[in-house]
Amino acid sequence: MFSMSHKRNRSVVVILLIICLCLTGIPGQQSRAASVKELDPPFETAMTNVGNYILSVDTNPDYSSIWNIIGLVRSGRIISQEYKDTFYENTVRYLQDNNWQITRAKYSEYSKLILGMTAIGKDATNISGHNLLEYLSDFNKVKLQGFNGPIWALIALKSHPSYTIPQVSGVGEQTTEEGLITYLLSKQLTEPGKEGWTLAGSTPDTDITGMTIQALSPYYGKRDDVTAAVDKALEWLSSAQNEHGGYSTLNGDGSVETSESDDQVIVALSSIGLDCQTDQRFIKGDGSWVMSRLFEYYSSVGTDKGGFLHVLPGADNNGGGAAGSVDGMATEQGMYALASYHRLQKGQTALYDMSDIEVSPGESVEPSKPDEPDATTRKQENTTKSSSTTTQAKKTATKKRVKAVYLDYRQISLQKGKTRTLKATISPSNASNKKVKWTSSNKKVATVTQKGKVKGIKAGTATITATARDGSKKKATCKVIVTNLTSGNKTSTTEVGRSNTSGSYSNQSSSSQGNSSSSYYYPGGNSGQTSGSSSTATKDSTTATTEAGAWTYDGETYKADSGDTNGETEDTLDEEDYDGEMDEDEEDVEDLSEEDFEEDDSEDTIHLPAWLAIILGLSSSGLMAASFRVPWKTLRKHLLTFMASRSKK
């Protein structure tokens, strides 16, 4: 009786449990549904719309489109072979125009290029006979830009199983896979609870930590040292996530939240197989997670549908795109972040693990040719008009307009009082007028001369812009972060993952959507962070930028790695390193206003009357003049002002 009663009671309990489950649902499922915010619009819809937006603005893809190409291809979207071929041909022509020397210091540019070529099925070890990985052979050059360089070198190296870094004789230090891993691990911060990575100082940075995890992801779970380091970094990333599920980029106190920081975390977690929707360490407050926060930056209306904002409406600006406006760099990074998460959900290889792509050598491309004269010009040249008319027609026929402006850095960090010279590159190389005008958005923070020499005035951020003077309105920007820090007296330059890497550039005129021009990464990406648009190469309606990751890559918000001990800081790059090319960017004296001179007249000088400054400057020896602290540029300004006033009388 007891046995039968016991069985009967047990059966009743089981039945009651089944009824409860039917009424309430499975506990685990209910918890997830109730605790995690739903995405609006649905994930796949958003990814499709972002791809549509990129294709609508990037109709003639070129070097500035690398991050767009990566995001589109890795999302699984079918894009035409014509689009890929156009990207390849335009990019190779750009490389040829620059004699395959696309940077003198930021070698993450080559890493980014390797990723873009691999994404379209081109073997990066044979692009028109050039092995792009050879440019990563000199580790001292890879490290020259700071910590970002080794991060992206390792990502590029591991992007395809067929890639190796060739041994090159004569380099200072040969780059090796093990050397890259060891270097990244050695730069991890050691303070308990803050064991992430950064470019400078002792405060971990979201974007750099995310990108470092991406670089180390192929070894996670396979090497104890890497696994332990990444696990510690994940603890910090979890603690750094805000109650809305998002992240802030490094900007002084780290209070500026950006979509690009969210992107880098999503890519990092997806790369090591962690789902940010289900990992409880990355779900905050009312069920917010990093993807739900990223979707708050998504634009769902009008012509901007599918674009991403850099910062939300009303938010502080850290030098990137305008608050509340669709931004090119934010869009390209948003695209590849979605692609990364999509690949995790589908059980595919990670974003930068392109072992699923079959690569073949990249064919040769005919070099760029001067623009052909149009029919009207040819007709003019064949008429019997006066020689002056014919000459003018010929000049018009051969005039080559600027198509893009590139800066060697999209973001730099300067100590107060320090200087750094930026280099502007014009595309095409045979443009008729290669001159640019340099301006600063905030002269109280940083000034710039008409040779691109930037000086830090006080702590804060400013945007330096180089605008083509041929009337094309093409421009490029570089974000400048001025600090009061004195970390080894280094003037540092970094690309931001908007990171990922890449120089700052823009193919869009200043009228584009009100966005500030910027490099498309960062980075790098870039990261990085150039100010405003996207690799989404701003061709018609949006400003372009590239470099991923960090805000921001390409790719490539950051400060340089003050921990490097190889002595190769950016201070070693002066005007002599540019082989005299800086002269092409100088303005004629008559083009310079007093405002232009004021940009460099920012030292703590003793302000003397104009007549006394002139007398001292002309009559005193160099030593005596120095004792009065009268700079030559101040003297030049006084002389021009004096001469101008005399000419008016």
pLDDT in tens, 479-502: 898 988 644 444 444 444 333 533
**pLDDT: is 530 or 247 the higher one?**
247
- For 414, the enclosing helix (H) or strand (E) is strand 411-415
Q: Are 432 and 390 in contact (CB under 8 A)?
A: no
What is the per-residue pLDDT across 354-380, written as a single tens digit (0 to 9) for each?
999 999 999 999 886 655 443 334 344
Confidence band for 638, pLDDT divided at 50, 70 and 90: low
The mean pLDDT value for 526-546 works out to: 35
Angle at Cα 547 formed by Cα 541 and Cα 549, nearest 5°? 110
pLDDT bin (cut points 50, 70, 90) of residue 115 is very high
Edge-to-edge strand list for the sheet holding 404-407: 424-427, 404-407, 504-506
Q: Looking at mean pLDDT, say which of 71-75, 98-102, 309-313, 393-397 comes out highest.
A: 71-75
| Sign of the CA dihedral running 519, 554, 208, 130 | negative
CA atoms within 13 A on the CB side of 603: 13
Q: 193, 219, 194: which is closest to 205 by C-alpha?
A: 194
Q: Are 521 and 67 in contact (CB under 8 A)?
A: yes
Region 395-404: what's the mean pLDDT? Answer: 67
* Exposure letters 81-93 (e unless 16+ CB within 10 A, then b): eebbebbbbbbbb
Q: Per-residue pLDDT averaged across 332-360, rounded?
A: 97
**Residue reference for tokens 């040969």:** 174
Query: In the numeric block, which tokens belong to residue 393?
Result: 């027609």
Phi, psi of 439 (to 5 degrees): -140, 155
At residue 473, the pLDDT reads: 83
Q: Tell me how far apart the alpha carbons of residues 612 and 634 are, in angstroms, rounded to a whole number.
A: 12
Short-list 460, 465, 425, CA closest to 445 = 460
For residues 353 and 158, the answer to whether their CB atoms sit within 8 Å is: yes
Residue 321 near residue 517, CB atoms below 8 Å: no
Long-range contacts of 27-33 (CB under 8 A, 24+ apart): 32/278
Among 549, 480, 489, 448, smallest CA distance to 210 is for 549
The strand pairing partners of 623, in sequence order, are none
Query: How many CA atoms lie less than 13 Å away from 325 in the CB half-sphere?
Result: 22
Asked if residue 119 has pLDDT above 70, the reply is yes
Q: Which residue has the tokens 């014509």?
A: 82
List 426's β-bridge partners, or say none. 405
Q: Identify the CA nearest to 505 among candidates 528, 488, 482.
A: 528
Predicted confidence (pLDDT) per residue in 120-168, tens digit: 999 999 999 999 999 999 999 999 999 999 999 999 999 999 999 999 9
State the number of CA atoms in the 13 A half-sphere of 299 facing the CB.
26
Which range in 174-178, 456-460, 595-599, 634-638 is most confidently predicted, on average pLDDT? 174-178
Is 362:92 a contact under the CB 8 Å cutoff?
yes
What is the distance between the terminal CA atoms of the chain, rounded to a whole angstrom? Answer: 125
Mean pLDDT of 41-67: 96
435 pLDDT higher than 60: yes
Provide the residue count of the chain.
649
Question: H-type helices in 247-354, by residue range?
Answer: 259-271, 290-294, 328-345
Q: What's the confidence (pLDDT) of residue 398?
A: 53
Given a cut of 80, whether residue 442 has pLDDT beyond it is: yes
| pLDDT of amino acid 616 | 55
Q: What is the pLDDT of residues 231-242, one digit of tens each?
A: 999 999 999 999
CA atoms within 13 A on the CB side of 643: 10
What is residue 645's predicted lDDT score, i.e. its pLDDT? 57
Q: List all residues 6 or more positions away from 297 whose beta carbon is below 8 Å from its beta carbon.
A: 259, 262, 308, 309, 310, 312, 330, 334
Please provide the DSSP assignment of 89-148 as one string: HHHHHHHHHTTT---SS-THHHHHHHHHHHHTTEEEEEETTB-GGGGG-BHHHHTTT-TH
pTM: 0.60
pLDDT digits (tens, 9 = 90+) for 301-336: 888 999 999 999 988 777 677 889 999 999 999 999
342-354 average pLDDT score: 98
Cis-peptide into 27, omega within 30 deg: no
CA 262 – CA 333 distance, rounded (Å) = 10
